[in-house]
Amino acid sequence: MSIPRTWAVTLRIVRQFRRDPRTLILLFAVPAVVILLVGYLLRSSSGGIRLGFVDETGGTAAPALQALGQTLSEAGVTPRYLSRPQAEKEVKDGDLDGAIVIAPAAQGTGVSVLLEGSNAQRSKAILRIARQVPLALSAASMPPPAESDLSVTYYHGGPDFETIDSQAPPLVGFYAFFFVFLLTTVSFLRERTVGTLERLMVTPITRAELVLGYVAGFGIFAVLQAIVILLVTIVVLQVEYTGSLAVVLLLVVTVTVAAANLGIFLSTFARTELQAVQFIPIVIVPQGLLSSVIWPIDTLPRWLQGVAHLLPLTYSNEALRNVMIRGQGLLDAGVAVNFLVLVGFAAIFVVIASATLRRQVA
């Protein structure tokens, strides 16, 4: 393995990109614009939370609730007081985003939350308010709830309901896969048709060096792209993530290895660039639809769930969500298992890509 030869290929790809501003824009601006659009579309409905208070304590909690209501009004949320059946009906119908129910319990006071649930931003905001209730109760010298956990009822969606928080992590992997796959397929096709691949293959460069040079060249751009996507979601959309950036980038690099080698492999089956683009609906679109970028896999029909588990992005999405939302590390099962499956996919694609490069020598 010669590092200078590998680096020569990497440097060449970087230079080719630098001369191609249109592709650079595609690479960085398109994911940023899409994630902003998704973010604003989901955010636009998050203002003006409609909250209900249900007081079943016979009035003893009223001072505490009023004090809390006062603070909330200043923040733009004015709770309405309802009876429990009415609150349940309104939350279910979507007339309220949620209701906080205060009721006498065996020990202390019970606090439960009813959530409409389809908008994770609002659900989270209401949960935050509900967590302030015990404090408000003790301030009004009411017995606080015995249990620290709130009893939460979702009428729609659920705690994992998809919005921008859970949409950004898979988009990081999706765009890395999409662009690296597309660009490798076209670049390699060009190498074949122009004849530079034959020229390369008669130099002392080995297949491994060539593939590694390609992976590194596109990997640099994939990592930069991932950083742009993360910056946009964290800085502009102000989504909070917990996990380690290093693990996110490691996952992006693994996705790049898989996508680049799948691209090299499939470029053998395309004669023109138009035919190369035809791989997008075959390789990219099903992964976009089935790998939980938009819909969670467990909501898919059973047979489609089976298909989803054959797609590399399913595993990268799951791992990226576990890192970015749940703050898991590389060694946690939710990341490690998915990462290993992803490495397996990458290994298979490396093998089939080198096999097609070997077949160049007829």
Partner 1 sequence: MANVEPAVVIEGLGKRFGRIEALRDVSFAVEPGQTYGLLGPGGCGKTTLIRLLLGALRPSAGRALVLGRPVPSPVTAGTVGYMPQLPALYLELTARENVSFFASLYGVHSRQAVEETLALVELAGRADSTVSTFSGGMKQRASLACALVHRPRLLLLDEPTVGVDPRLRATFWAYFHRLNGEGVTIILSSHVMDEADRCHRLILLRDGRLLAEGAPAELRSRAGTSTLEEAFLAFAGDGT
Q: How far apart are CA 85 and CA 168, in angstroms?
A: 37
CA distances from 197 to 66, 138, 279 (A): 75, 75, 21
Q: Which residue has the tokens 């693994």?
A: 254
What one-character DSSP code corresponds to residue 307? Answer: H
Cα–Cα nearest to 308, from 159, 170, 176 = 170
By CB under 8 A, residue 15 contacts partner 1:
yes
Question: Which range, of 116-124, 203-211, 239-247, 321-329, touches partner 1 by CB under 8 A?
Answer: 203-211
Site for partner 1 in 65-124 (CB under 8 A): none
Nearest-approach distance from CB 27 to partner 1, in angstroms: 15
Question: Site for partner 1 (CB under 8 A): which residue of 147, 198, 273, 298?
Answer: 198
Q: How far apart are CA 120 and CA 50, in angstroms?
A: 14
By CB under 8 A, residue 25 contacts partner 1:
no
Nearest-approach distance from CB 218 to partner 1, in angstroms: 15
Pure H helices in the chain: 3-18, 21-43, 62-74, 84-93, 120-139, 164-194, 196-201, 207-231, 245-267, 273-277, 279, 285-290, 302-308, 312-324, 333-358
Site for partner 1 in 177-196 (CB under 8 A): 194-196
User: Which residues are registered as beta bridge partners of 100?
Assistant: 53, 113
Q: How many CA atoms does the CB half-sphere of 333 hold within 13 Å?
A: 0
Give one DSSP letter per residue of 165-223, joined into a string.
Answer: HHHHHHHHHHHHHHHHHHHHHHHHHHHHHHSHHHHHHTSS--HHHHHHHHHHHHHHHHH
Question: Site for partner 1 (CB under 8 A): which residue of 8, 26, 127, 280?
Answer: 8
Nearest-approach distance from CB 225 to partner 1, in angstroms: 20
By CB under 8 A, residue 201 contacts partner 1:
yes
Q: How many residues does the chain have?
A: 362
Nearest-approach distance from CB 16 to partner 1, in angstroms: 5
By CB under 8 A, residue 278 contacts partner 1:
no
| Order of all β-strands in the sheet with 80-82 | 80-82, 51-55, 98-104, 109-115, 151-154
User: What are 106's two structure tokens?
Assistant: 């065996």
Nearest-approach distance from CB 196 to partner 1, in angstroms: 5
Question: Site for partner 1 (CB under 8 A): which residue of 202, 235, 331, 333?
Answer: 202
Helix H or strand E encompassing 110 = strand 109-115
Give the residue with the Cβ less far from partner 1, 153 or 206: 206
Nearest-approach distance from CB 271 to partner 1, in angstroms: 16
By CB under 8 A, residue 20 contacts partner 1:
yes
CA distances from 59 to 102, 103, 282 (A): 10, 10, 62
By CB under 8 A, residue 204 contacts partner 1:
yes
Nearest-approach distance from CB 193 to partner 1, in angstroms: 10
Nearest-approach distance from CB 358 to partner 1, in angstroms: 11
Number of residues binding to partner 1, judged by CB under 8 A = 25
By CB under 8 A, residue 200 contacts partner 1:
yes
Nearest-approach distance from CB 206 to partner 1, in angstroms: 8
Question: Which range, of 40-48, 198-206, 225-233, 314-322, touches partner 1 by CB under 8 A?
Answer: 198-206
Site for partner 1 in 205-234 (CB under 8 A): 205
Residue 333 three-state SS = helix
By CB under 8 A, residue 280 contacts partner 1:
no
By CB under 8 A, residue 160 contacts partner 1:
no
By CB under 8 A, residue 271 contacts partner 1:
no
User: Under the rule (CB under 8 A), what is the footprint of partner 1?
Assistant: 2, 4-5, 7-8, 11-12, 15-16, 19-20, 194-196, 198-205, 360-362
